[in-house]
C-alpha cells in the first residue's frame, strides 16, 4: 500500500526540484527524502527519478503520479476533516493505554502534528506496561484502545472480542560503552560479547526469557552486573561504562553520549507493536489515529538511521 507521507514528499520534490529543498521544506534530511522516494518506487514498481551524483531528474511517471497525488492528498485531508466533524460535530473521547517507550518517543510528535488537531479526538491517556493496559480493555474496563508490544512469542493474551492491528516493529540493538573502544556500527559476532559485563532484563518476565534463549542460542553468555527494565536507565549506565545492554531502537532516539550501537548479526529481535481496539470504538477517527501512529514510528526510525 502506498504511504501518503511518501506522496506528500514526492509532491514537494517535484515542486521544488531537489531532495534537499524538499527536505528543508518538510523538516527531513535529504537522505530521509531519498529513502522515502526509493520506498515509493518499490511500492509502485515505477522508476520515479534518474539519479546522478549531483542531481535528480524526475521521470514522466513521477510527474503524472504527482498530479494524481495532489488529488489523493486533498481527498485524505477532506476525509480527516469529515471524521473530525462526525458524531454531531463533537469530539470523540478516546481512552488510550500506551506503554512507556511509545508514550515518550512517539505520542508527543503526534500531538504536535497538525493532522492530530484535525481528528477531533479528546484523548485520555494511561501509561503502563501491556499486561496492565490489556486488563483495561476487558468487559467494563477503563480503556478503548491499548497500544502494546510483544517480543517473539512471549506470553501476551487479550480478549477474543478485541481487534488487533499491527503498527510497526521496534528492533532491538546491542549497545556498548564508547570507552570500551569499539566503533559504532561495528559488526561483532555474538560469542565475542560473551563474559563481558551486561545490563539485562529482570529474570522471570516473558521478554527476559526470550532474550536469554536468544543469547544462549548464539553462544553468548553474559556476565550480569545489573538488572533493569528501564531502557533510559540502561542506556545511562552503559554510557557510564557499567556494561553492554540490549535496547529497542525507539529508546535510541534519545541515547546519551558515550554509547555505541553494534551490528550483531546473530541477534535479530524486535518488539512487534500493535493496537488492540474494541470494535464498538473503532470509528474513522480512531482508525486515522492508528495510521498516524504507524507513519510517525516510520518517520522516527528513518530519522534515527540518518
Instruction: Answer yes or no: do 46 and 174 share one domain.
Output: no
User: Integer distance in angstroms from the first to the last C-alpha of the chain?
Assistant: 24
- Label residue 123 exposed, middle or buried (CB < 10 Å: 0-12, 13-18, 19+): middle
Select from 84, 112, 146 the last residue of a domain.
84
DSSP state of 47: -
DSSP 35-57: HHHHHHHHHHT---EEE-SS-EE
What cell was used for 195? Answer: 563474559
Instruction: Answer yes or no: do 75 and 190 share one domain.
Output: no
pLDDT computed for residue 116 by the predictor:
87
Instruction: Answer yes or no: do 197 and 94 share one domain.
Output: yes
Measure the CA–CA gap between 195 and 225, rounded to whole angstroms.
Answer: 11
What cell was used for 3? Answer: 504511504
At 11, which CATH number? 1.10.10.10
- Taking Cα atoms as reference points, which of 205, 189, 299 lies closest to residue 250? 299
Q: What phi and psi, each to the nearest 5 degrees, are found at residue 57?
A: -130, 115
Q: By the 8 A CB rule, do 23 and 306 touch?
A: no
Per the rule left: phi > 0, alpha: psi between -120 and 50, beta: everything else, 61 is: alpha
Q: By the 8 A CB rule, do 170 and 250 touch?
A: yes
Q: By the 8 A CB rule, do 40 and 62 touch?
A: no
Measure the CA–CA gap between 69 and 64, rounded to whole angstroms.
Answer: 9
Domain count, the chain: 2
Instruction: Answer yes or no: do 110 and 38 share one domain.
Output: no
pLDDT computed for residue 1 by the predictor:
74
Residues of the chain with pLDDT > 70, as a percent, come to 95
Q: Supply the range of the domain harboring residue 15.
A: 4-84
What is the pTM for the complete model shown? 0.67
pLDDT computed for residue 97 by the predictor:
94
Measure the CA–CA gap between 302 and 136, rounded to whole angstroms.
Answer: 32
pLDDT computed for residue 79 by the predictor:
82
Instruction: Answer yes or no: do 122 and 242 share one domain.
Output: yes
Instruction: Answer yes or no: do 258 and 277 share one domain.
Output: yes
Instruction: Answer yes or no: do 61 and 110 share one domain.
Output: no
Instruction: Answer yes or no: do 162 and 186 share one domain.
Output: yes
pLDDT computed for residue 207 by the predictor:
83
Q: How do residues 211-224 score in pLDDT, each as one tens digit?
A: 999 999 999 999 99
What cell was used for 148? Answer: 502494546
306 residues of the chain, pLDDT tens digit each: 788 889 999 999 999 999 999 998 888 888 989 999 999 999 999 999 998 878 899 999 999 999 999 899 888 888 877 766 655 455 788 999 999 999 999 999 999 988 888 888 899 999 999 988 988 887 667 899 999 998 877 667 787 778 889 998 999 999 999 999 998 889 999 999 988 999 999 988 778 889 999 999 999 999 999 999 999 999 999 999 999 999 999 999 889 999 999 999 999 999 999 999 987 777 888 888 998 998 898 888 777 665
Q: By the 8 A CB rule, do 106 and 297 touch?
A: yes
Instruction: Answer yes or no: do 277 and 235 share one domain.
Output: yes
SS3 of 282, please?
Answer: coil
pLDDT computed for residue 155 by the predictor:
67
Amino acid at each position: 500500500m502506498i504511504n501518503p507521507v511518501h506522496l506528500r514528499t514526492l509532491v514537494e520534490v517535484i515542486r521544488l526540484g531537489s531532495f534537499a529543498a524538499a527536505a528543508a521544506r518538510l523538516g527531513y534530511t535529504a537522505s530521509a527524502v531519498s529513502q522515502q522516494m526509493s520506498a515509493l518506487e518499490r511500492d509502485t514498481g515505477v522508476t520515479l527519478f534518474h539519479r546522478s551524483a549531483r542531481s535528480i531528474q524526475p521521470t514522466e511517471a513521477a510527474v503524472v503520479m504527482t498530479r494524481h497525488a495532489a488529488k489523493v492528498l486533498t481527498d485524505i485531508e477532506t476525509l480527516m476533516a469529515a471524521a473530525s466533524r462526525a458524531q454531531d460535530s463533537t469530539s470523540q473521547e478516546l481512552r488510550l493505554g500506551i506503554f512507556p517507550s511509545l508514550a515518550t518517543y512517539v505520542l508527543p510528535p503526534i500531538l504536535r502534528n497538525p493532522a492530530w488537531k484535525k481528528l477531533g479526538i479528546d484523548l485520555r491517556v494511561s501509561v503502563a506496561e501491556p499486561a496492565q493496559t490489556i486488563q483495561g480493555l476487558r468487559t467494563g474496563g477503563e480503556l478503548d484502545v491499548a497500544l502494546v508490544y510483544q517480543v517473539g512469542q512471549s506470553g501476551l493474551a487479550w480478549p477474543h472480542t478485541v481487534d488487533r492491528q499491527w503498527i510497526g516493529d521496534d528492533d532491538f540493538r546491542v549497545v556498548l560503552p564508547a570507552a570500551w573502544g569499539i566503533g559504532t556500527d561495528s559488526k561483532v559476532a555474538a560469542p565475542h560479547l560473551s563474559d563481558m559485563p551486561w545490563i539485562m532484563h529482570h529474570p522471570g518476565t516473558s521478554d527476559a526469557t526470550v532474550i536469554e534463549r536468544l543469547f544462549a542460542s548464539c553462544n553468548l553468555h553474559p556476565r550480569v552486573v545489573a538488572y533493569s527494565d528501564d531502557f533510559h536507565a540502561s542506556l545511562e549506565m552503559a554510557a557510564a561504562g557499567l556494561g553492554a545492554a540490549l535496547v529497542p531502537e525507539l529508546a535510541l532516539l534519545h541515547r546519551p553520549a558515550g554509547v555505541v550501537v553494534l551490528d550483531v548479526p546473530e541477534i535479530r529481535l524486535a518488539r512487534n507493536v500493535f493496537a488492540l481496539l474494541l470494535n464498538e470504538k473503532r470509528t474513522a477517527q480512531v482508525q486515522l489515529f492508528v495510521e498516524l501512529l504507524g507513519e510517525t514510528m516510520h518517520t522516527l526510525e528513518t530519522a534515527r538511521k540518518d
